[in-house]
Amino acid sequence: MAAGEFVSVRSQEDTENADLARERAELKRDPGGERGELAGIYVGRGLERPLADKVAGQLMANDAIGARARVELGLSPATAARPMRAALVSAASFSLGAVLPICVVLAATPRT
């Protein structure tokens, strides 16, 4: 169970890393276009263009890839894939789930 969870979440992590690498390349190739795209996302969410441009500029000046990852890709450090953690939680859940049936078997007295 844990190994399957590890493999599953590892593939998710690989996808996230590939997405971030693509964003880094796009930022390097066309930072102005990426800023405009980010501002466009904010316009789509209801901000007026001047404010959206200002927000996008400030966010990208501080952490361009982080801003793009959060807004465009929906990624954040809190939601990042963690394969080892997923495997450990899966193993613990499986083990705890097995405790109840084992306790029932041990507690049951055979009828003669």
- Express each pLDDT in 32-60 by its tens digit: 999 999 999 999 999 999 999 999 999 99
Q: Does residue 112 belong to any structural domain of this protein?
A: no
Number of domains present in the structure of the chain: 1
Is the separation of the CB atoms in 66 and 77 below 8 Å?
no
Give pLDDT, residue 24: 93
For 57-112, the pLDDT digits (tens) are 999 998 999 898 888 888 887 777 888 888 888 888 988 888 888 888 888 877 76
| Domain hosting residue 37, numbered range | 2-107
pTM over 0.85: no
Q: Does residue 102 belong to any structural domain of this protein?
A: yes
Distances (CA, A) of 43 to 54, 59, 60, 78: 11, 15, 16, 26
Which region among 1-5, 15-19, 50-54 has the lowest average model confidence (pLDDT)?
Answer: 1-5
